[in-house]
Structure 1
Amino acid sequence: MGAKTYLYALLAALLLAGPSAGQLAEFDKISPGAEASVPALVMGASTEPQGLLPSVKRVQFRTETGWSSWITLKGVRLTTAPVAVSPAPGIVDILTGGNENDLWQIRLRGQETWSDWIRIFGPPPYNKNLGGVHFRKYELAAISTGSMDGDYHLFTWGPTNHCLYKRCWGCGSGSVACDRSLDWIRIEGEIGSRPGAVLHSDRIHIFALDSSRGLIWNFADLPAVGSGDLPAWDGWRPLGRSFASPPAAASDGEMIHIFALSPGGGIGHATLDPETGESSLETINEKMDSSPTVVIGRNRIDLFGVVGGELIQIKNEGGGWTKGENLKGSISGQPTAVSDGQRDIWVFAQGQGGWLWGIHHSPKAEG
């Protein structure tokens, strides 16, 4: 083969390969009457192991009540609902199943600086002794221990109706790492839904529904950060409440609040004293198609869910629940909400195109 023919063949191969090693990130800003495109702020480099640069696009503005425009974050097509945690002020980590059911993570600093998409580990199952039955493709609950190099505790619903547990850790590069050689660990006792998790008073609390849709609760003392020790679970116990969707949980520092769809319609809100196990229940008269997700801040509870493919927010600032506000969007499935530790709230969900959609709120922007 001549040198010129070889060069043409090489160029053709490179063109066919395309951007498989990563995508050039762009942040397209769309505003009424004007369009502009500027580079995105991206941490890391596409040469990082398993890295994939995101592409971020603004699709809609909502500023009158302090909410940003919606963004779509491309690069990984989601296969499960995302889950978001904040390990430090101004930092948000999103974990999700994506592409070929791998587990992916991406980190947000501030409001516009994104890391690469990082593949944490491959598709399920990792529990080889389960006969090759996939667990729920990384339908996760997660907590972090409050520092960027701290621990991440992940939970999912296994194929034998057990909660599966994985302990991971933060890296200085802006990513989350897990030991790929270690299996998911099965927590004894059967569950019947995706779990919810919350950190309260140095204990990890997990919630799920049982096979009869009753709410059940388990907890363990938080292992020392970096110790590698496993939580010693106390065992599942019933709370005497029934729900119609998987639970979401958050702590106000004194009580744990659990939200899920109510069997009779509306949203069930259980309040649990984790010291005594006593709980109370109210029903919020608001329609949602998805399980709710919740953020609890200073004397305020923000609750989010999906109705007809659009995000709905209701809140309680001590005077009762407000009427739902429609934040629009084009999303599906279960949203996740998180405070970034600096009073901003982010909500993420799988949206149109299978991409990650997100919107954020700054209380200081409220009129």
Structure 2
Amino acid sequence: MGPAITPQPPRVTPGWTPEWSSQYNTWFYVNDYMKDSTWEVPTVPAQSPASERGVGGTLQNHKGAVVTGAAVLGLAAAGLLEHERHKHESQSQAGGFSQISTVSTQKVSGSGLPIVGEGNSWGGVVPQYIYKPSLISVVSWGPGRLDAFVVGTDRALYHRAHSGGGWIPSTYERLGGHCTCPPVVATGGLNNLDIYVLGGEDKLWRKWWLNAWAPAMTDYQCMSDVPLLKGSPPTIIARGLNRTDVFSLGTDRQLLHKWWDGNVWNPSLTAWQPLGGSFASPPAVVSSTPTSLVLIGLGTDGQMHHKAFWGNAWYPSISGWDAFGGPFISAPNITSWGPDRFDIFATGADHRMHHRWWSNGTWSQSWEVHGGTLGSMPVAVSWGRHRLDVFARGVDGALLHKAWEGNRWVPSQHEWESHGGSFHGAPAAVCWGPNRIDVLAVAEADGDPQHKAWSGASWTPWETLGGKALFLE
């Protein structure tokens, strides 16, 4: 059989480039400015987003106070933001982040958020529809405590916390920076927070809280000596207080890795260990034991790919990955409810949730397919053994929920319960104790960040955190 013959590209309107999909034997069309793509033949010329973007907007708290220039930003397109917009910033900064060369001694935990905007395909590499991420990041370092982070239209990071009596401070706290993706937030323990973002020069930047913001309230520590994939956030996880692993995608889409061993960053503060692969979104990571890591990510071929670290070695190899089936149209989500147990969730090409799990040393034989039609990636959390709660955005924009109660799905494998609302992107969820779940999402119509909670007996109604989100797509 001879080589495959690519047909002549069709004529398209200005600002679009046709690309051939050998997987689906058809053309898709890449926006030259936004780098998003569509299967439909464009009929309207693509326009540069430069004239549509502006710094401004407001982020209001529920009492009506205003923080200027702090509207929540929806990062729909990798590469949407331009460093040139911020040439007025101090020359002593790199894209809004003060250069800090000292090695931090703080530890982190948690997991990263995938980012690809609705309709975007990472510069045309993967033409499949990849769902929006959550526009708000949330973490808990103890009972009754929540910390939520958003990115403003001035590209700075903003923060509010919930500590029993309500959301504080009364207005959003501005933490500076020049963020080009949603933040990844983690905690290493009581009164400790770590935040990682992609920012100036497409490098990874970090700040942390341990009774005070460091390296300073609006300063960040540079964690990369090379540019990373534009708009792609990292994935982070802690295995105990003295071990942190950070993963990010390089400009060639392979996975890069660095780790904190309790004393120093390895290979160094700004260097990376390459782990191979070719990914459409940052892989998800989980650790069910102190000496293990499991990674799974959406490849540029639309398939899931998997590798693991056990003891002191990577499997199948340091640069190799095992194919894990597909096709999928969302990044995966992974969680663990106990030792030697973790569960993987993703949205398939059929727009349904697919689920696979590892238990007692073996994988489930195949992906378990759930009913319903999803409009986001699924997000799973666990507040106890044999318990899973999964959330997603429905195609009508409403928040959907189902739970695994040890021996059955509730309401059923093929049904979801709706919590109403109309939201933009995937929800964010966190548990700070048994029978407690907090869910946050950004309203589609007006951009208000919304919050509701399960307290063991019932769900609270939606409440607004205040704030107006601006979605640039």
Whether TM exceeds 0.5 here: the answer is yes
Contact 2:229–2:249, Cα closer than 8 Å, also in 1 = no
Contact 1:76–1:355, Cα closer than 8 Å, also in 2 = no
Identify which of 148, 157, 162 aligns with 2:254: 162
In 2: Cα distance, 1:85 partner to 1:309 partner:
23
* Residue type at the aligned position of 1:198: V
TM-score by length of 2: 0.50
Identify which of 182, 185, 188 aligns with 2:272: 185
Contact 2:256–2:275, Cα closer than 8 Å, also in 1 = no
Provide closer, same or farther for how the CA distance between residues 346 and 106 of structure 1 changes in structure 2, counting only shifts above 3 A.
same
Identify which of 436, 445, 452 aligns with 1:359: 452
Residue 266 (structure 1) aligned with residue 352 (structure 2):
yes
> Post-superposition shift, 1:245?
1.3
* Residue type at the aligned position of 2:389: D
Provide closer, same or farther for how the CA distance between residues 346 and 154 of structure 1 changes in structure 2, counting only shifts above 3 A.
farther
> Post-superposition shift, 1:142?
4.2
Q: 1:336 aligns to what?
A: 428
Provide closer, same or farther for how the CA distance between residues 325 and 221 of structure 1 changes in structure 2, counting only shifts above 3 A.
same
> What SS class does the counterpart of residue 189 from structure 1 fall into?
coil
> Post-superposition shift, 1:355?
4.9
Provide closer, same or farther for how the CA distance between residues 241 and 304 of structure 1 changes in structure 2, counting only shifts above 3 A.
same
In 2: Cα distance, 1:269 partner to 1:359 partner:
25
Q: 2:398 aligns to what?
A: 310
Structure 2 unmatched ranges of 5 or more: 1-55, 76-133, 177-194, 205-223, 461-473
Q: Comparing 295-304 with 102-111, which one deviates more in the overlay? A: 102-111
The superposition leaves residues 262-293 of structure 1 with CA deviations (integer Å, 9 ceiling, x where unpaired) of 22342100112484556542100121110110
> Superposition pairs for residues 104-123 of structure 1, below 5 Å?
106-110=160-164, 112-114=166-168, 116-119=173-176, 123=199
In 2: Cα distance, 1:97 partner to 1:306 partner:
21
Provide closer, same or farther for how the CA distance between residues 164 and 76 of structure 1 changes in structure 2, counting only shifts above 3 A.
farther
> Post-superposition shift, 1:87?
3.4
> What SS class does the counterpart of residue 433 from structure 2 fall into?
coil
Q: 1:241 aligns to what?
A: 325
> What SS class does the counterpart of residue 400 from structure 2 fall into?
strand
> Superposition pairs for residues 53-68 of structure 1, below 5 Å?
none
The superposition leaves residues 122-147 of structure 1 with CA deviations (integer Å, 9 ceiling, x where unpaired) of 724117775x6752253x54445677
> Post-superposition shift, 1:200?
1.4
Q: Comparing 88-97 with 243-252, which one deviates more in the overlay? A: 88-97
> What SS class does the counterpart of residue 457 from structure 2 fall into?
helix
In 2: Cα distance, 1:341 partner to 1:357 partner:
21
Contact 2:403–2:410, Cα closer than 8 Å, also in 1 = yes
> Superposition pairs for residues 63-82 of structure 1, below 5 Å?
75=70, 77-80=72-75, 81=134, 82=136
Contact 1:76–1:117, Cα closer than 8 Å, also in 2 = no
> What SS class does the counterpart of residue 346 from structure 2 fall into?
strand
Provide closer, same or farther for how the CA distance between residues 336 and 232 of structure 1 changes in structure 2, counting only shifts above 3 A.
farther
Provide closer, same or farther for how the CA distance between residues 162 and 117 of structure 1 changes in structure 2, counting only shifts above 3 A.
farther
Provide closer, same or farther for how the CA distance between residues 182 and 99 of structure 1 changes in structure 2, counting only shifts above 3 A.
farther
Query: Root-mean-square deviation (CA), in Å?
Result: 4.1
TM-score by length of 1: 0.62
Contact 1:136–1:159, Cα closer than 8 Å, also in 2 = no
In 2: Cα distance, 1:99 partner to 1:186 partner:
33
In 1: Cα distance, 2:143 partner to 2:353 partner:
30
> Superposition pairs for residues 1-367 of structure 1, below 5 Å?
26-28=61-63, 75=70, 77-80=72-75, 81=134, 82-95=136-149, 97-102=151-156, 106-110=160-164, 112-114=166-168, 116-119=173-176, 123-124=199-200, 125-126=202-203, 135-138=230-233, 140-143=234-237, 153-165=245-257, 182-183=269-270, 185=272, 187-190=274-277, 191-202=279-290, 203-220=292-309, 234=315, 235=318, 236-242=320-326, 243-253=328-338, 254-273=340-359, 275-276=361-362, 280-298=366-384, 299-307=386-394, 308-317=396-405, 318-322=407-411, 323-352=415-444, 353-365=446-458
Provide closer, same or farther for how the CA distance between residues 88 and 197 of structure 1 changes in structure 2, counting only shifts above 3 A.
farther
More strand by share: 1
Contact 1:217–1:239, Cα closer than 8 Å, also in 2 = yes
Provide closer, same or farther for how the CA distance between residues 79 and 276 of structure 1 changes in structure 2, counting only shifts above 3 A.
same
> What SS class does the counterpart of residue 324 from structure 2 fall into?
strand
Contact 2:383–2:432, Cα closer than 8 Å, also in 1 = no
In 1: Cα distance, 2:248 partner to 2:387 partner:
28
Provide closer, same or farther for how the CA distance between residues 279 and 129 of structure 1 changes in structure 2, counting only shifts above 3 A.
farther
Provide closer, same or farther for how the CA distance between residues 265 and 84 of structure 1 changes in structure 2, counting only shifts above 3 A.
same
Q: How many residues align?
A: 284
